Chain A
Amino acid sequence: MKQRWREVLRKLGPALGLVAAWLLFALLAGRPFTSWPNHQLMLLQTAVIGTAAVGATWIIVAGGIDLSVGSTIALGTVVTALLLNAGWSAGAAAVGGIASATLVGWTIGALVVGQLGRVLALGAGVALGVWIGRQHGPALGVVSGVSLAALLRWLLERAIGPLPLSPFIVTLGLWGALRGLAKGLGDNQPVYPDATGWLRRVMVLAPEGPFAIAPPGVCVFALVALVAGLALKHTVLGRHAVAIGSNEQTARLCGVRVERVKLWVYALGLACAGVASVLQFAYLSMGDPTTAQGYELKVIAAVVIGGASLSGGQGSVGGALIGALIMTVVDNGCTKLGLDNWVQELITGAIIVAAVALDRTRSRAQS
């Protein structure tokens, strides 16, 4: 019985924190904070970080980490903007933005599970293909790119063999590299598309119409969270991700295809970051290589406040959502109270440490 209570407390802890924060600001700031439009605004403010945090939950629960998510979001906005400028439709450009982030996820996953050779071969193949394609037409470009990639992969896999790398280091490298890539693609400045199509309406509050309750961006955010949350709990892939985070060796012994699951986890996790990047693009109406600075840590903070353990095995999408909402409530509430930025930052920092400390006391009581 006592154990059941602890279980309930463990699950409800972050939610209680959210309620407490909300009540505090409701009392202090009153109507400007509690009004319905302000809540719509808060949901809007949460959408980008929240969507990225959904993906990060998968990665962290599987025992990984991603420090590159802010840079990936910036890259995604630039890619989306460039595709729009190249004449793609809004939908196709959005898919392109998500695909670029998913490719980043695949790259991280491949490096983490030891497929350095594959990544290098693919990179070299694409580079050669693009270069030749520009000079001698696309057909020759594709042929030369693919053959170089195949040859290099064969050579490198023999020369290097499997070489697993720490996700912390891999994504620390990509944190800088992807930002650089975004700047290079955008020629060191923001990319302003001529027309953004329906993307323009995704991240604005609509007074009426079907999206009067929540803007489309918030609906997308909610849908991604729902699907990813259920998938973590009820798909074999999700349970294997948890098993790997909990005890990787056991998972391997029991026949879980650890490498494949990790590749999927990073690809899906970064696909969520891709969705976040499209939302961010819609919010900014431009591709900005310098946007989303520091988001990687906010995303991790949301996941951790939501009760996840950075050593893996523990955490939930619902928790991460609550974590992201807590941070928004604090930000928004402080603004409504007219408090300076530095106060918000102090409070958010304190909440992160408090959340982890609370979680530790709960798990200590358990053992």
Chain B
Amino acid sequence: MHGLVKRFGATLALDGVALEARAGEVLALVGENGAGKSTLMKVLAGALEPDAGRMELDGAPYAPRSPLEARERGVAMIHQELALAPHLSVAENVLLGAEPQRIGLVDWRSLHERAHAALTQLGRGELDVRRRVGDLAPAERQLVEIARAVAFEARVVVLDEPTSSLGREDVARLAELLVRLRERGAAVIYISHVMEEIFAFAQRYCVLRDGRSVASGTCADSSPRELVAAMVGREVAQLTPRPAQQGAAPAGEVIARLNSLRGQRLPREATLELRRGEVLGIAGLVGAGRTELLRALMGLERVVSGELRVLELSGARAPHERWEQGVGMLSEDRKSEGLALGLSIAANLGLPHLERFARAGRFDAGALERSAAEWIERVRVKCAGPRQPIGELSGGNQQKVALARLLAADVDIALLDEPTRGVDVAAKAEIYALIDRFARRGERQRAVLVVSSYLPELLGLCDRIAVMERGVLHPARAAAELDERTLLAQATGGGA
């Protein structure tokens, strides 16, 4: 790609990007939210046409006008939101749109053989191609998509944050898949925010900033610190948030107490005390029951047995009661649960307490927008204004709005589920600062319970961390006494 330019109205999303992906190599594409990665990938995938610049594929000019044409030329996209038909079988999904047929009838045997062959090439021939995709685990679904790219003999495979929904073990298997793709001579473009993955998987990198490619080179000659510096355009003192304890008052009274709490399926047993003024982290593998714990606290999932006391109320309560009490939750699933993507920023911000903007039953949209504008300013959301539909914002800015919703509701307890998922480094730092200020430095002390799969984040942000292991919550320990290895050992049941 040479000198690609894409404008959206007055906004210059891409400003002369140059990018080179080589066969048999993984190229890591990094950049802040809004740096132009998604736009660039949409151009590559044929969903958008560039205003200037040209692309070449295997030496021939490449200018796809539709995703389908891009695919026919051998460019496959694997999105964060997987593009699969859940009601069809694995084999049908792998060969969708190119089913082997005889006089209009599906040739099942050949279909199954070819899908199996694609999976075998990826070293995962054991997956039954007859299974319904809707019954598969997230990692297996991703595998199906990659197998589709293999079946269509893709020359370029783009993976957009492929590990955001995977557990650690699945990430390791994904690494194997990438090696297989490289061996087949495909060029892999790997978009990720996780530095460890970039340096483990990729041979070369390219950094985008403000629609420009600002740095590129081989991973072997670089370091995470160098990459981050290129992304934000300035040296960042530390990747992880600084331990925030110094200068803050010690933790206060107990604000929530759980005793042998048991949910419908998960958690199996959770005992915990949350105090004012502290950030308490919950570590653990994906599927260990961390999300279910937060949801049970919020009243989104059933509590089967055990004691639960939040502020002055004991027992399970409905979500609206929790909000009234001053408990708010940030969902890990921003797209379908966390935010109403079609609604404006203002509507999303005000959703838990619309009644505050009503006078004598009459809803005052102006007041809501004024309040939203204030919060946009305060948490620095990049947007056109409070009326902009939130779906148009980048992931990091959406997340800032979701977090600002808790701040605006003035909650005492914030339950945060993966608050920095799909968020770039600079926005992460801002979110950490918001959490720190919220819990420890406000006019009164509040409490934060945060679930994260990114251990350095928990270690840097939290006062105490508890590990959830297969539904059982281990006792919380001071973050200062812990390190990644200890947490991981406990999370995997390998003892601490």
Interface-side segment among B67-75, B217-225, B334-342, B427-435: B67-75
Q: Mark A234-253, 1 if CB is under 8 A from B, else 0.
A: 11110110110111011111
| B residues in contact with A245, CB < 8 Å | 87
User: From residue 56 to 106 of chain B, which have CB atoms closer than 8 A to chain A?
Assistant: 67-68, 71-72, 83-88, 92, 96-99, 101, 104-106
Given the complex of chains A and B, what is the CA–CA distance between A236 and B98 in angstroms? 9
Please tell me if A89 contacts chain B, counting CB pairs below 8 Å: no
User: Known interface pairs A235-B105, A236-B101, A239-B99. Does A255 touch B68 (Cβ–Cβ under 8 Å)?
Assistant: yes
A254-B96, A255-B97 known; A242 vs B105 contact (CB < 8 Å): no
Instruction: Please name the residue on chain B nearest to A312 by beta carbon.
Output: B87
**A315 to B, closest residue via Cβ:** B87
- Pair count A-B, CB < 8 A: 66
With A239-B92, A253-B68, A366-B135 given, is the CB distance from A313 to B85 under 8 Å? yes
Contacting residues, chain A, for B87 (C-beta < 8 A): 242, 245-246, 313-314
Q: Complex formed: what's the CA distance from A98 to B124 in Å?
A: 50
Assuming A235-B105, A239-B106, is B71 touching A253 (CB within 8 A)? yes
Is B88 a contact partner of A236 (Cβ separation < 8 A)? no
Q: Does A254 contact B105, Cβ atoms closer than 8 Å?
A: no
The answer to whether A234 and B105 touch across the interface, beta carbons within 8 angstroms, is: yes
Answer yes or no: A135 CB below 8 A from chain B CBs: no
B286 vs chain A, min Cβ distance (A):
16
A236 and B106 contact, CB distance less than 8 A: yes
Chain B contacts with A in 126-150, Cβ cutoff 8 A: 135, 148
Complex-state Cα separation, A242 to B85, whole angstroms: 9
Taking a contact as CB atoms under 8 Å apart, the answer to whether A250 and B85 are in contact is: yes
- A12 to nearest B CB, angstroms? 17
Please report which residues of chain A, range 212-253, place their CB below 8 angstroms from some CB of chain B when the two chains form the complex.
234-237, 239-240, 242-243, 245-247, 249-253
Is there a chain B Cβ closer than 8 Å to A3's Cβ? yes
Question: CA–CA, A8 to B110, complex, Å?
Answer: 26
Task: Name the residue among A237, A250, A251, A253 with the largest chain B CB count within 10 angstroms.
Answer: A253
Let me know if A253 and B67 touch, CB within 8 A.
Answer: yes
Residue pair B105, A247 in contact (C-beta under 8 Å): no
The smallest C-beta distance from A203 to any residue of chain B, in angstroms, reads 32
Which residues of the other chain, B, contact A234 by a CB distance below 8 angstroms?
A: 105-106, 108
Known pairs A239-B92, A254-B97; A249 contacts B106 (CB<8 A): no
Residues of B in contact with A (beta carbons under 8 Å apart):
67-68, 71-72, 83-88, 92, 96-99, 101, 104-106, 108, 135, 148
Sample of 11 further A-B pairs with CB below 8 A, known A249-B83, A252-B67: A234-B108, A235-B104, A242-B87, A247-B84, A250-B96, A251-B96, A252-B68, A253-B68, A254-B96, A255-B98, A366-B135
Selected A-B contacts with CB under 8 Å, 12 pairs: A234-B108, A242-B87, A243-B85, A243-B88, A246-B85, A246-B87, A247-B83, A250-B85, A254-B71, A255-B68, A313-B86, A313-B87
